[in-house]
Structure 1
Amino acid sequence: MPFTETRAVPEASTAAVALDFVTNATGVSDVADGATDAAAAAAAACCAPAAREAIGADEAERLARLLKAVADPARLRLVSLVAAHDDMEACVCDLTEPLGLSQPTVSHHLKVLVDAGILTRDKRGTWAYYRLVPGALGTLADRVLGL
């Protein structure tokens, strides 16, 4: 003859849900039908609604390009080097040597950063000057993390 017992099953939240287990003649415990509904209701109640709106598909694409641009160590160093200069502006001639890369490679990385909207480029005579776009990286933290 089967008997019924109640066991506390810990949930991911701080609350516990009591489930009724029915032990059959073979000694195997099964969850009673009514307990399944109670567990489902408790699980649904633990999910909190979003506190703010998530980013849309278009903005996700734009921010992914921004993240991809700074994901390269050389480009991340370039952003840091430009930001370290007065007025957050540096000549390409000052950026090649610290990286230890060829001038064409540095120029390629700078173009990626300009295309991503992180730097701007200003040609003066034979040299190009790069300036950090104010708030370009702050936008990333604001939109993705909601900071």
Structure 2
Amino acid sequence: MKKLAKNFKALSDETRLRIIALLSYSELCVCDLMAVLQLPQSTVSRHLAYLKSVEMVDDRREGVWMYYRLMNESEFGLGKLLPALLEQLSAVDKTQHDLISLRSYLKQRESNSCT
């Protein structure tokens, strides 16, 4: 029961929901999330660490950069709720704006890696 409560607590924060919506688009590094969310690195990293602790995101290191991805449905902390969550998030104006900002940001970068 405690794990389930912790998973739902992870979804009770607007920033974490926005991160989940962005990671549903593609694997991203902290700098990508910082640029789109317009939040400091420490804030983004703290939220990512929380989402990782409840098995909603996973990470990988590439050089000095950490990349994050949304866990798939079979790995996701709340499993079968993931599609419903993403459907709800896609209908929210703020997450739609975030995705538009992310696409624009990624187009502006020359490569698909942080510099």
- Fold agreement, TM-score > 0.5: yes
Q: Scaled by the length of structure 2, what TM-score is found?
A: 0.63
Over 3 Å off, 4+ runs: none
The equivalent residue for 2:71 is: 133
Please state how far the C-alpha of 1:118 moved relative to its aligned partner: 0.1
Q: Scaled by the length of structure 1, what TM-score is found?
A: 0.50
Q: Which structure would you say has the larger RCO, counting Cα contacts within 8 Å and 6 or more residues apart?
A: 2
Which has the greater radius of gyration? 1
SS at match of 1:130: strand
The answer to whether 1:61 aligns with 2:61 is: no
Match of 2:32 among 70, 85, 94: 94
Question: Where does the alignment leave 5 or more consecutive residues of structure 1 unmatched?
Answer: 1-59, 143-147
The equivalent residue for 1:39 is: none
Please state how far the C-alpha of 1:126 moved relative to its aligned partner: 1.1
Contact persistence 2:56–2:70 (CA under 8 A): yes
Match of 2:19 among 70, 74, 78: 78
Q: Name the amino acid aligned to 2:56.
A: I
- % same residue: 38
Q: In the superposition, relative to structure 1, how do residues 137 and 115 fare at CA in structure 2: closer, same or farther (>3 Å)?
A: closer
Q: How much is the aligned-residue C-alpha RMSD, in angstroms?
A: 1.8
Q: More helix per residue: 1 or 2?
A: 2
Question: Where does the alignment leave 5 or more consecutive residues of structure 2 unmatched?
Answer: 83-115
Q: Name the amino acid aligned to 2:61.
A: K
SS at match of 1:139: coil
Q: More strand per residue: 1 or 2?
A: 1
Q: Name the amino acid aligned to 1:128.
A: M
Q: Distance in 2 between matches of 1:128 and 1:70?
A: 22
Match of 1:103 among 29, 38, 41: 41
The equivalent residue for 1:9 is: none
SS at match of 1:74: helix
